[in-house]
Structure 1
Amino acid sequence: MSGRHAWVDASAGVAGDMLLGALVDAGADLAQVQHAVDAVVPGAVRLVARGVLRAGQSATKVDVEVLTDDLPHRHWREIRTMVTDAELAERTRARVLATFGRLAEAEARVHGTSPEDVHFHEVGALDSIADVVGVCAALELLDVATLSAGPVAVGSGRIRTAHGDIGVPVPAVVQLSTGKRVVAGGRGELATPTGMALVVALSERDEDLPALVVDGAGAGAGTKDFPDRPNLTRVLLGTVAATAASAADGGGDRVTVLEANVDDLDPRLWPGVLDRLLAGGALDAWLVPILMKKGRPAHTLTVLAHPHRVAALRDLVFAETSTLGVRASAWTRTALPRGWVDVAVGGAVVPVKVGHRDGRVVRATPEFDAVEQLAGRTGRPVPDVLADAVAAATTAGLVPGAVLPDGLRPTV
């Protein structure tokens, strides 16, 4: 985690291509963004960037050129499969799925159906898939760990869509705006469902410009050029001042803690719940026994996550448990860098997790799952294999205070 933060200024509106243009303007490499888009919809679109002026201000306009006549209306489950199967960075994939997941929920509420059965129509077209994947890939290229956004201008009046003549903001944008500060900002559709979904799904909070040590910025242009206001979405990049101070004191990154109290779940289900949360990107997940009202025994489920994974993990908690509510709080976590070193144990290899600081080993612990598996293969008692692994780590010089060995494989 680099701690780089992006703040989105959508005070003049936001669309997927505008946010993508802002990130390209801020330095995201368009060729690498294209590569990510091709991984999901190969050979279907071409991204083209050009410099433009909007009300006298320079910006980048990214156009999505569709290269195929195949423009089906796709279900959410189809898009999810496309993204899941694509070769993408894990953080990019998680952000794309979170964005389309929010879109599916909004469209389902508008049309009175389930998210799985939603036809995305305009937002499922190739250009919008390219916008969502492109934005998420650009964030990864810019090493953005966290995002926030100010109020969004949504527009006013009426527009014509595939569903006929409707009011602005369109129904999907209204659904996505729940809990978000919005203003009209002018006539016409200033916030599209794709743009609003990206802001809502990827931002950890709604805030005015935070105290930021700025190290980059970009402006993305919309298609129209209004004479009275620049039709731009802007992005400011940098380090949040509080995070920078924390780093100076020894390092820290921002994490979110999700919690839920549950008193009516079959206890046999809990191990699988924890496993699926960890597989879904949680940094950690655990249970604490508690006593609730009327003397009911229960558990507090706690999930530790990076902010960009919160939406998906919250959905997973609702899906996998019987809770009716999930609370969230923001924390700063200071974690030792860590990595893996393999040691030989009885003719097999056991990885040892090494926590380190300033080039020195702080602690080294054999991976217990590997120890347990080796014991199962050899028929030896687990404590004996664990003792051998600890001895092998010591022999390899993996002891507190030792210089880090060559070949350390980094992990998160």
Structure 2
Amino acid sequence: MTALWVDASAGASGDMLLGALVGAGVPLDVVRDAVDAVAPEPIALRVEQVRRGGLAATRVHVDVTDSSVHRTWHHVRELLGHGALEPRVRDLALTTFERLAVAEAAVHGTTPDEVHFHEVGALDAIADVVGVCAGFAHLGAEAVTVSPVAVGSGTVETAHGTLPVPPPAVAELLRGVPTHAGRVAMELCTPTGAALLTTLATSYGPQPAMTVDAIGIGAGGRDPDGHANVVRLFTGVPGGAAGAEGPLLLECNVDDLDPRVWPSVIAALLEAGASDAWLTPILMKKGRPAHTLSALVDGGRAADVRAAIFRQTTTIGLREQPLRKHALEREFVSVDVDGQTVSVKLARHQGTVVNAQPEFDDVARAAVALGRPVSDVLAAAAALARKFL
């Protein structure tokens, strides 16, 4: 399970959230593919590393051609409905734009279908909404906590003229959400940012207990003095440090991987930090033969092992459960087999040696050096190891 915390204490906008997602590791192609699937006109995305208030941050530029089209909620709904989007991305984007339409209709005394989005219906806003929804869907978070949102103060120029900050649509969107003015007299949260935050949030508050894997810092276009105009995005494993360090069992079922690849997969998981990894043959629905891939890992290395599983296999999901583990005390000694040193692993229970096993790699190496069968050298090493019992 992945947990996300969005730090909107300096405000939020669509492009700031895009930058935070890319900065946290979401591939730009994930965002670009979703935007291309719905864009009615050419839209290009490019990434720039910038500084905001002394902080290194990621800015995602949305480059569009000049367009005078003011699309209604009906038009945007058709774009999203007909685009080749993943179902989760489509649902999030539809919900976000519906929130915008309802809020605009409420403040202007009309119906959602009659709302002309103006700024938020422009091509860059469509790209922001769809791109952010694709990024959050890619991260697969079940819990998204959003900090109290800074909205700003003063006035802002809009298509409707000069409006107070927060603009009426933002105030409407953030009903019931913890907000504050922030430290500067400017618009800090845009309608697009407010709609995205309220769509994605499952709770509001300070950073929850979590082990952070990645941090993305997303920049807006403005760089005011004395104010870091950024959104921060933390991704990680939910729970406190003590729980995060305990042993975990990661598992997935795979039925479409070339079996010749499995040895390299196991090796990659061990290299990533798994204490053990193995395969179990299973039979899935419709009689398909498959394997369950299992890995034991300390919680502190779980993120690396998860990444290795997703990178090395074809699975698109993992099961994860905490375990209680009882391990015997261990130490290594050595025995001499006709001049060849073979390590022996000893295991103790309450101070008494209960197991003494020669290391097989050492046995195999000694067998080659001595020109003897491996089984012969193994039997000799095991006999010598019994003196430790």
Deviation at 1:71, TM superposition (A): 3.5
Between the aligned partners of 2:111 and 2:204, the Cα distance in structure 1 is 28
Give the deviation of 1:203 after TM superposition: 0.6
Deviations 1:193-242 (A, max 9, x none): 00011000111111211001111110011122122121111100011117
Q: Which residue of 1 aligns with 2:86?
A: 89
Sort the Cα spacing of 1:235 and 1:360 in 2 relative to 1 into closer, same or farther, 3 A.
same
- The separation in 2 between residues aligned to 1:38 and 1:244, in whole angstroms, is 43
C-alpha contact 2:152 2:186 (8 A) present in aligned 1: yes
1:17 equivalent in structure 2: 15
Match of 2:76 among 56, 75, 79: 79
State yes or no: 1:173 paired with 2:170. yes
TM-score when scaled to structure 1? Answer: 0.60
3-state SS, counterpart of residue 171 of structure 2: helix
CA distance in 1, matches of 2:232, 2:192: 16
CA contact (8 A) 1:17 1:222 kept: yes
1:223 paired residue number: 221
Question: What is the CA RMSD across the aligned residues, in angstroms?
Answer: 3.2
**Within 2, Cα distance between the matches of 1:338 and 1:243?**
29
3-state DSSP of counterpart to 1:107: helix
Give the drift of 1:102. 1.1
Contact in 1 for aligned 2:211/2:238 (Cα 8 Å): yes
C-alpha contact (below 8 Å) 2:178/2:204 kept by paired residues: yes
**Quick one: which of 181, 184, 193 aligns to 2:181?**
184
Q: Which residue of 1 is the match for residue 161 of structure 2?
A: 164
Please tell me the residue identity of whatever aligns with 2:48.
R
Cα offset for 1:103? 0.9
**C-alpha separation between the residues in 2 aligned to 1:145 and 1:359?**
28
Residues 183, 339 of structure 1: alpha-carbon distance in 2 compared, 3 angstrom cutoff? same
List gaps (5 residues or longer) in structure 2: 256-278, 293-313, 318-389
Q: Secondary structure at the match of 1:188?
A: coil
Report the Cα distance in structure 2 between the residues aligned to 1:29 and 1:338, rounded to whole angstroms. Answer: 25
What per-residue deviation string (whole Å, max 9, x for no partner) do you get for residues 102-148 of structure 1? 11111111111222222111100000000011111122333334312
Give the letter for the 1:218 counterpart: G
Asked if structure 2 preserves the Cα contact closer than 8 Å seen for 1:338 and 1:411, the reply is: no
Deviation at 1:31, TM superposition (A): 2.7
Aligned pairs for 1:257-268 (under 5 A) are: none
| Partner Cα distance (1:410, 1:98) in 2 | 29
What SS class does the counterpart of residue 189 from structure 1 fall into?
A: coil
Question: For this pair of structures, how many residues does the alignment match?
Answer: 274
1:99 matched to 2:116: no
Offset at 1:410?
8.6
* Structure 2 partner of 1:241: 239
Task: For 2:204 and 2:4, locate their aligned partners in 1 and report how far apart those are by CA, in whole Å.
Answer: 12
Change (3 A) 1:76 1:187: same
The aligned counterpart of 2:119 is 122
> Is 1:154 aligned to 2:38, yes or no?
no
Contact 1:13 1:154 in 2 (8 A): yes
1:30 is displaced (CA, Å) by 1.4
Unaligned residue ranges in structure 1 (runs of 5+): 253-335, 341-357, 367-392, 397-403
For the pair 1:36 / 2:1, whether they are aligned, the reply is no
Matches of 1:73 and 1:244, distance apart in 2: 53
Is this contact kept in 1: 2:210–2:241, CA < 8 A?
no
Q: Quick one: structure 1 residues 360 and 90, their matched pair in 2 at CA, closer, same or farther if it must change by over 3 Å?
A: same
CA distance in 2, matches of 1:244, 1:193: 39
Does structure 1 retain, via aligned residues, the 8 Å contact 2:253–2:290?
no
Residue type of the partner of 1:108? A
158 and 82 in structure 1: CA distance in 2 versus 1, 3 angstrom threshold: same
Misfit runs of 4+, over 2 Å: 140-146, 242-252, 336-340, 358-362, 404-412
Shift of 1:243: 12
Moved more, 140-149 or 78-87: 140-149
Does structure 1 retain, via aligned residues, the 8 Å contact 2:15–2:60?
Answer: yes
TM-score by length of 2: 0.63
The one-letter code of the counterpart of 1:28 is: V
